[in-house]
Amino acid sequence: MQTGKIISIRGSVVDIGFEDYLPSINTLLHTGKDKNISIEVLAQLDANRVRGIALNPTQGLTRGMLVETEGKQLAVPIGKNIMGRMFDVFGNVIDHQGKLSDVKWKNIHQPPPSLAERSTKSEVFLTGIKVIDVLVPLERGGKTGLFGGAGVGKTVLLTEMIHNMVGHNKGVSMFCGIGERCREGHELYQDMQTAGVLENMVMLFGQMNEPPGARFRVGHAALTMAEYFRDEEHRDVLLLIDNIFRFIQAGMEVSGLMGQMPSRLGYQPTLGTELSQLEERIANTKSGAITSIQAVYVPADDLTDPAAVHTFSHLSASIVLSRKKASEGMYPAIDLLESNSKMATPGIIGKRHYELAQAIRKTLAHYEELKDIIAMLGLEQLSNEDHKIVNRARRLERFLTQPFFTTTKFSGIEGKEVSLEEALDGCERILADEFKDIPESAFYMIGRVEEALMKGKKEKSQEATTEEK
């Protein structure tokens, strides 16, 4: 145990002096009356002084107060027993479900896997959600950005992915809340418990009211836990991060407190490095994969903002949620033309899937152009070919909606998981006008396309009965 003394305190920034020992960068120091305040070393000022950022509020600290360190870094628990639990940045359980037992502790500062360890094969990560698997295929071991405002279905989409991941891929799901409101954390915990997926999940939160130092390290702590499941248990991990912008924001606050000269728009000069240190650890290796879905807040809807630009460079797919779609009841409310994926190439998903996805996009784009004409002049003024395109597009839009397992108790419709082959088959048959005589309402909220035939027959028989009466 090495000891030093506090020299100065400026908000969360604390300078500490040591006589014959100098802690290295990222060493954890403990101070306060009960040694309950943790400080992480971020800079060595000279041979005897270090500057650190407090991970707890600094109320009660005074100059001359004793500081202790064992020379260790911030660590989190790893092991089978962390499943189904909720943690803070220090690895303490915060779900009131009793203490942890039989766990090891591991430093949160780990290097990303080297190129030699990574898998060079591009694989698609199947979610069981038609619209994502067909039009925005996700990469196994890749990073996906989820863009959307409040109330358009981000959490429902994430919960469904967790349900499908846990149920069929025997994988692990991790939720990392960076700068989350306590209300959001509490609601998510209750939702996961109700959906029955909590026992295969690990949740880690750095709340909005916590100091920037703690919020800045939550992402690294979550990745350390995820790496344990990937590297030691050889399981696939689905890592959900909400919100990656708040990680950048916490880094900006830390940088400002440390007295660094700000870069463009007030961001820290080390923005690119800090984001890369986090993102590069999310990878597909020979032992398993960490697939990440990250909610991305775009400041003032400006996609040229440095935070958005640096985040985009790491993503392999972008899912854009649309409020207009949500208002029409088209769930999942994904904007099919705005969303895109780098995996959607013939070399990765195959020629048939690629050509089908392009045909779907082309049909939907054409329908979007025709909407103005329909609104002004009506459907009657369209040519026969345009009529066919509108019918196909409307059936495709409804076929790409899907009832979710996690919303069964609200909607009363049983959830459906659809394989990629079934989804592609359905889209292909709709584009070939095979179902032109079936009402478009029959395609809404179904799984496989065969269900539309049954639904259509049922609707026709009901209409016939009504007419007879």
List active site positions: 154, 180-181
CA distance 299 to 276: 20
Residue 455: CB atoms within 10 Å? 18
Report which of 281, 254, 286 is spatially closest to residue 270, judged by C-alpha positions. 254
The CA distances from residue 141 to 235, 237, 302, 334, 411, in Å, are 12, 9, 28, 22, 33
Which residues touch 469 (CB under 8 Å, ≥6 apart)? none
- Output b/e per residue, 135-170; b: 16+ Cβ within 10 A: bbbbbbbbbbbbbbeeebbbbbbbbbbbbbbbeebe
CA distance 138 to 150: 23
Which residues touch 329 (CB under 8 Å, ≥6 apart)? 401
- Maximum alpha-carbon separation in the chain: 98
Burial class (CB in 10 A: 0-12, 13-18, 19+), 247: buried
CA angle 121, 123, 126 (to 5 degrees): 170
CA distance 350 to 363: 20
CA distance 372 to 108: 54
CA angle 290, 292, 298 (to 5 degrees): 160
Residue 186: CB atoms within 10 Å? 13
CA dihedral for 126, 128, 134, 136, sign (positive or negative): negative
Burial class (CB in 10 A: 0-12, 13-18, 19+), 366: middle
CA distance 355 to 345: 9
